[in-house]
Structure 1
Amino acid sequence: MQDHVGIAGMGTYLPKRYLSAKELASLIGIDEKVIVEKFGIKGKYVPAEDDTTSHMGIMAAREAIKNARIDPEEIDVVIWNGAQHKDYPCWLACTKVAHEISAKRAWAFDMEAMCGSMIVGLQVARSIMLSERNVNTVLLVSGYRNVDLVNHSYKPTSFMFDIGASGAAVVLRKNLGQNVLLGVSSIVDGSFAEDCIVPVGGTKKWPMKPEDLDEYYFHLVDPESFKERLNSVTLKNFYSVIDDALMKSGFSRKDISYLAILHFKRSAHLEVLAELGLREDQSFYLEDYGHMGQNDQIFSLQEGLKRGRIKDGDVIVLVGAGVGWTWNAAVLRWGKMRQPIMW
């Protein structure tokens, strides 16, 4: 049997604080109905003071380890694929995670592909596991609280008003025999690299001045141009990575059983389902969570399993995208292996 990598366990974490659509509408200064119907959220989780980025990842990691029924000392590698906005600037979260969960044998590193990081992390982890004979168990860990960098009074980034906070983690095992990761595909377009940025705090504007603190949030350099250009390519690129990941897995759109897709506005979610020929119950709309970056796909998988929307043998497509700009898709065959592995 060809070597393969499967998902052995998943874990998530949510802060206790919940910001309802009514509260968000009051904060932004628009009608609650617009928040629910257009933005597509009934509310979102926001971090308390002790919900640091690493803490949320650590809590999710502990749940994933418990779900996988493994000892932390079985973990060979810890990969932090959470947000760059971490507890401290210029800091490794992976070593903190490994220490806190007692993964005493593991080596570790941080990686980042913005909100595509969970899907890219799956591909990176699998590549390491299949190329290194002594790497059999990898833990992907993500904490996400980029909501700190969203100014709700700055209307040009209104597409980010759905952003919340959470943690997510995945335990991967070599030759697990179930929940197998198949094809993965990514596209990037660097023409968007400096369109949506936090304009202060980096080396392009250093040292910081006291007044820079007032600008420490996401800005759009040219809002009208950005939206026009992104709208012209984003759905096309979503479909491109989905089709490519399916092709690499030996499948096509007609084989999709469940779509674990990032949270974005309701109309776009429904448009993607229609394009792929899927019913609404073949996905899960994260309206009670909002957009939690790279964690969205794991929350969607958990909801799909809990609600009986995912069954053994199902072909699952994970879909994400990240500022910068990147589009990503991965295919899973859920349940026990039924056919030779292809990618």
Structure 2
Amino acid sequence: MTAIAQQQPIGILGTGSYLPARVVSNTEIAGPAGVDAQWIERKTGIRARHRAAPDQATSDLAAEAGRRALAAAGVSAHELTTIVVATSTPDQPQPATASFVQHLLGADQAAAVDVNAVCSGFVYALAMAGGLLRSAAADGLALVIGADVYSRILDYQDRKTAILFGDGAGAVVLGPAPRGRGLYAGRLRGFGAEHGLIGVEAGGSRRPASEGTVREGGHYFRMDGRGVREFVAAQVPKLVHGLLDEARLRPEELRHLVPHQANGVMLRELADLLELPDTRMHLNVEHYGNTGAASIPIALDEAWRAEAIGAGESVLLAGFGGGMNCGLALLER
């Protein structure tokens, strides 16, 4: 395996995640959606998801995941130079959710910014933070967080979406890494022509909040599940193999895949299409559902802390979602 040359190797120094205490079973969510619990598991592979408490916003989940990542890295919030929060469920339209996170953590030396690439957001945020650290004149540390509270934007009578999503947050601390380790290749790709597959139509500048948009349910998350599945099958495998070719990494050398935890059935289909028989796919969608931008860092944190990913092993992070967007990152622990 040949790493792409870089001025300053940047790698993951610590990981963390946070799931709200309340667990919502399929039985609880099935009734309003007009289905039964067994149908949900059969169609999605999901058995439960977590839901934020009424007094918890996205920044609260993000800050707790960030605290755990900082503790794992052995650094303080005061040492951070950058905070990037990936979310499509911000605390409010402005300011950035990252500003609230910075305040909650006491990271008084850090720049703070949000990224919204929906379920690809964490990989986009990782690329942004890594680029900022490499371009800095001095060594820096970045906290990269994916966090979403989808329970606030779901129509619980819409079985296409209500059964899939949960709330959570995951985080990593980025900093200087040994030569040959860390983040060494990536690819970000937008498919704006497919923007209609996923979205929340109302509440922005095109359709501002009004009595009418609320009455019509315009502030609910909507998704064309069949269209998303077809998009993933058509685009993700060729993007993955294109990145492996660019990184001069043979498919049989890739040890780990941490995908966006969209839908367990779809991920099994994707595993077959990827044709990576020697690669371990890390999945937790059964327990947490789809947590949006949080899903990759939560799964990565669980694998990292369990030492399921060994030193020197290659890992591919693969995000895909609204926009449509795809984000891929190759790293070596």
Structure 2-normalised TM-score? 0.89
> 1:201 and 1:234 mapped to 2: Cα distance?
28
In the alignment, is the contact (CA less than 8 A) between 1:40 and 1:264 conserved in 2? Answer: no
Aligned to 1:328: 327
* Structure 2 unaligned regions, length at least 5: 1-5
Q: Secondary structure at the match of 2:145?
A: strand
Q: CA deviation at 1:118?
A: 0.7
Q: Within 5 A, what are the aligned runs for 1:64-75?
A: 64-75=69-80
Matched residue of 2:210: which SS? Answer: coil
1:103 to 97, 107, 130: 107
Residue 40 of structure 1 and its aligned partner are, at CA, apart by 1.1
- Residue 328 of structure 1, CA deviation: 1.6
Alignment partners' CA distance in 2, 1:143 and 1:52: 10
* Kept after mapping to 2: 8 A contact 1:164/1:290: yes
Quote the residue 2:149 is aligned against: 145
For residue 201 of structure 2, the aligned residue among 195, 199, 202 is 199
| Greater alpha carbon shift after TM alignment, 47-56 vs 190-199 | 190-199
- 170, 174, 183: which one aligns with 1:172: 174
Partner residue in 2 for 1:23: 28
1:127 alignment partner AA? G
Q: 1:219 to 1:284 in 2, by over 3 A?
A: closer
Give the corresponding residue for 1:125: 129
How many residues matched? 326
1:317 Cα deviation from its structure 2 partner: 0.8
Q: Is the 8 A contact 1:7 1:179 kept in 2?
A: no
1:292-303 paired onto structure 2 within 5 Å:
292-303=291-302
Asked if the contact 1:8–1:179 (Cα under 8 Å) also holds between the matched residues in 2, the reply is no
Q: Which stretches in structure 1 are left out of the alignment for 5+ residues?
A: 335-343
Separation in 2 of the partners of 1:130 and 1:281?
A: 30
Equivalent residue for 1:314? Answer: 313
* Matching residue of 1:337: none
The alignment-based identity, stated in percent, is: 21
Deviation (angstroms), 1:176: 4.9
- SS of the residue 1:309 aligns to: coil
Which of 160, 163, 171 is the equivalent residue of 1:161? Answer: 163
Q: How does the TM-score come out when normalised to structure 1?
A: 0.87
Secondary structure, counterpart of 1:115 in structure 2: helix
- Counterpart residue type for residue 93 of structure 2: P
In the aligned structure 2, how far is the partner of 1:308 from the partner of 1:11?
Answer: 14
Residue aligned with 1:330, SS: strand
Structure 1 pair 112–171 and aligned structure 2 pair: CA distance change class (3 A) = same
CA contact (8 A) 2:169 2:297 kept: no
- 1:141-195 CA deviation, whole Å, 9 max, x = no partner? 232112321212124xx15631100112111002355850121112221112234
Q: How far has the Cα of 1:6 moved from its partner?
A: 0.5
| 8 Å Cα contact 2:119/2:320 also seen in 1 | yes
Alignment of 1:4-83 (within 5 A): 4-83=9-88
Instruction: Tell me by how many angstroms 1:306 deviates.
Output: 4.6
Assess if the C-alpha contact under 8 Å between 2:155 and 2:162 holds in 1: no
